[in-house]
C-alpha cells in the first residue's frame, strides 16, 4: 500500500490544487517515504527539515507554500511537540530581553557578508523593496524596475514620508549594512546614527559609510537616550518580541524631538501571536516574531498619534523572488563556503516567505507616527 497522508490532509491538499507527486510545478515530489510521518509528527518544522534533507523537491516551492497557506493546511495538522514547547517558552520567558539581544545578529546577520552582497541589491537593503516608479506616477514602468531601483524607491519613500531635510539628525534602529543611513546622507544631507546587533553589519557599514555624516553603533535599542529630529526602523521590530513592544515604543518616544516623525517599516501578521514558526525560529531568525496590528496599536497607545498606515506586502513577494534569483546565480561562488544543506535551507526560507506574502498571510506595513499630531494633519506620501 503506498505511503501517504491521512484523508483529512489529502482533502486540504486537494482544495489547494496540490497533489503529492503530481504533474504541476507546485506539486511536491517525494524522494523518501519517511517524509509523511515526519510532517505528521513535526508539522512545519518537519516540512522544512525534510526539504533540507532532500526527502522531497518542488519546482515551484513558492507557489506550493502560497497554495497551502491560502487553504490553511496547518489547521489539519496537530500542533507538534516543538511548537508546544515554543509556545510555552514564549509565554513564560522574555526571549528578546537584553541578554539575548545579540543572538539573532550572531545566528543570522553574521552568516557572511559575501552571502548578503550576492543576494541583495547594490546598497545591501535587507527589507522589502517598493516596486513603484519614484515620482512620476507612471505605473507602466512598474514591470521594468530592477531590484536596485525598487530598493532606492523604498529608501526615498521613507525619506519623503518623514519630510527629511538637509542637516537633520536621524536615528535608524536596526540599520543593517547602512543602506538607509548612507542613502539619507548622500541624497538628503542628513546626519544619521544607526544601531545594529550584528558585528559583521557594523564592520561593513563603517566601510561603506566612510566620509559621510553617518555613525554606526553596535548597540541594543534599549540603551538609546539621546534625541533626534526623526526616527526610522526598517525591518527590526520583528526581533523585539511582544513583551517588549511597549518598551520599544517608549524608547522611540524619548528619542524623538517634538515635531519629529517616526516611521516603522515592519512585516505584519493578520493574527496576534506570541512566537514564530518553529522552522524559522530554529534555522533563520531565533527569538523572532511578527507583530499584529493590534499589538502595535496597543504599544503605541498613549505615546503616539497614528498619522499613516501603508500596506504594500505584495511587493515583498517580488522582492524575495529577486533575492532568490540572485542567490541561485551566485551559488557556484558560494557553495564551497556554505554547503548543499545550507543551499536547500536558504531557498526554502526565501521561497516559503515569498509564498506567505503571495497568500496575504503576511503584510508589509509602513506606519508613520508623531508624538503629538502633525499640525494641520499629515499628508500621506506614496
| Residue 75 banded pLDDT, cuts 50, 70, 90 | low
30 against 134, higher pLDDT: 30
The total domain count for the chain is 2
Structural domain of 355? 100-370
Tell me the torsion sign for CA atoms 217, 282, 267, 272. Answer: negative
Is 381 within the bounds of a domain? no
Domain at 130, CATH number: 3.40.50.150
Averaged confidence pLDDT in the chain: 92
**Does one domain contain both 357 and 224?**
yes
Is 174 within the bounds of a domain? yes
**Does one domain contain both 109 and 144?**
yes
pTM for the whole structure: 0.92
**Does one domain contain both 141 and 44?**
no
Is 173 within the bounds of a domain? yes
Residue 159: all three cell numbers together? 525619506
Q: What is the percent of the chain with per-residue pLDDT over 70, rounded to a whole number?
A: 90
**Does one domain contain both 104 and 64?**
no
Is 273 within the bounds of a domain? yes
**Does one domain contain both 173 and 283?**
yes
Burial of 341 per CB tally in 10 Å (0-12, 13-18, 19+)? exposed
Which residue pairs from 82-91 have beta carbons closer than 8 angstroms and sit at least 24 positions apart in sequence? 82/42, 82/43, 82/45, 82/278, 82/282, 83/43, 83/44, 83/45, 83/278, 86/275, 86/276, 86/278, 86/281, 87/274, 87/275, 89/275, 90/274, 90/275, 90/289, 91/274
| Residue 6 banded pLDDT, cuts 50, 70, 90 | confident
**Does one domain contain both 205 and 58?**
no
82 against 249, higher pLDDT: 249
Is 153 within the bounds of a domain? yes
**Does one domain contain both 256 and 180?**
yes
The reported pLDDT for the residue numbered 234 is 98
**Does one domain contain both 228 and 361?**
yes
Of these residues, 58, 175, 255, 353, which one is catalytic? 353
Is 260 within the bounds of a domain? yes
The reported pLDDT for the residue numbered 59 is 98
pLDDT tens track for 169-203: 999 999 999 999 999 999 999 999 999 999 999 99
**Does one domain contain both 39 and 139?**
no
Residue 307 clears pLDDT 90, i.e. is over it? yes
Tell me the torsion sign for CA atoms 272, 94, 221, 278. Answer: negative
**Does one domain contain both 49 and 195?**
no
Pairwise CA distance, residues 19 & 158, whole Å? 43
Residue 372: all three cell numbers together? 503629538
Pairwise CA distance, residues 326 & 317, whole Å? 14
The reported pLDDT for the residue numbered 73 is 73
CB 268, CB 357: distance < 8 Å = no
| Residue 78 banded pLDDT, cuts 50, 70, 90 | low
| Residue 134 banded pLDDT, cuts 50, 70, 90 | very low
**Does one domain contain both 127 and 39?**
no
Residue 164 clears pLDDT 60, i.e. is over it? yes
In this structure, of 102-111, 240-249, 338-347, 355-364, the range with the lowest mean pLDDT score is: 102-111
| Residue 1 banded pLDDT, cuts 50, 70, 90 | very low
**Does one domain contain both 203 and 258?**
yes
Residue 353 is a catalytic residue: yes
pLDDT tens track for 198-236: 999 999 999 999 999 999 999 999 999 999 999 999 999
Is 94 within the bounds of a domain? no
Is 379 within the bounds of a domain? no
CB 189, CB 229: distance < 8 Å = no
Amino acid at each position: 500500500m503506498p505511503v501517504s497522508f491521512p484523508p483529512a490532509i489529502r482533502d486540504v491538499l486537494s482544495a489547494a490544487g496540490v497533489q503529492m507527486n503530481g504533474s504541476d510545478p507546485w506539486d511536491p515530489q517525494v524522494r523518501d517515504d519517511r517524509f509523511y510521518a515526519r510532517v505528521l509528527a513535526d508539522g512545519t518544522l518537519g516540512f522544512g527539515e525534510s526539504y533540507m534533507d532532500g526527502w522531497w523537491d518542488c519546482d515551484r516551492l513558492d507557489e506550493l507554500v502560497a497554495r497551502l497557506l491560502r487553504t490553511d493546511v496547518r489547521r489539519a495538522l496537530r500542533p507538534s511537540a516543538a511548537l508546544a514547547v515554543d509556545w510555552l517558552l514564549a509565554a513564560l520567558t522574555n526571549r528578546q530581553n537584553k541578554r539575548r539581544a545579540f543572538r539573532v545578529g550572531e545566528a543570522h546577520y553574521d552568516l557572511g557578508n559575501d552571502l548578503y552582497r550576492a543576494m541583495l541589491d547594490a546598497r545591501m537593503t535587507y527589507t522589502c523593496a517598493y516596486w513603484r516608479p519614484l515620482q512620476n506616477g507612471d505605473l507602466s514602468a512598474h514591470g521594468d524596475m530592477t531590484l536596485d531601483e525598487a530598493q532606492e524607491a523604498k529608501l526615498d519613500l521613507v525619506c519623503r514620508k518623514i519630510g527629511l531635510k538637509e542637516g537633520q539628525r536621524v536615528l535608524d534602529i536596526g540599520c543593517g549594512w547602512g543602506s538607509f543611513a548612507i542613502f539619507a546622507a548622500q541624497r538628503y544631507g542628513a546626519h544619521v546614527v544607526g544601531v545594529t546587533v550584528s558585528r559583521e553589519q557594523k564592520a561593513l557599514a563603517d566601510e561603506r559609510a566612510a566620509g559621510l555624516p553617518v555613525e554606526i553603533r553596535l548597540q541594543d535599542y534599549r540603551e538609546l537616550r539621546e534625541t533626534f529630529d526623526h526616527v526610522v526602523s526598517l525591518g527590526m521590530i520583528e526581533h523585539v518580541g511582544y513583551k517588549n513592544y511597549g518598551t520599544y515604543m517608549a524608547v522611540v518616544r524619548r528619542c524623538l524631538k517634538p515635531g519629529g516623525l517616526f516611521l516603522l517599516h515592519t512585516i505584519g501578521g493578520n493574527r496576534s501571536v506570541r512566537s514564530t514558526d518553529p522552522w524559522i525560529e530554529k534555522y533563520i531568525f531565533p527569538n523572532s516574531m511578527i507583530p499584529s496590528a493590534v499589538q502595535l496599536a496597543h504599544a503605541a497607545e498613549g505615546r503616539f498619534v497614528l498619522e499613516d498606515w501603508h500596506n504594500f506586502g505584495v511587493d515583498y513577494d517580488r522582492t524575495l523572488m529577486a533575492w532568490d534569483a540572485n542567490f541561485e546565480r551566485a551559488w557556484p561562488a558560494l557553495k564551497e563556503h556554505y554547503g548543499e544543506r545550507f543551499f536547500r535551507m536558504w531557498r526554502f526560507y526565501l521561497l516559503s516567505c515569498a509564498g506567505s506574502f503571495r497568500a496575504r498571510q503576511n503584510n508589509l506595513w509602513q506606519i508613520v507616527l508623531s508624538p503629538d499630531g502633525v499640525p494641520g494633519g499629515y499628508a500621506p506620501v506614496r
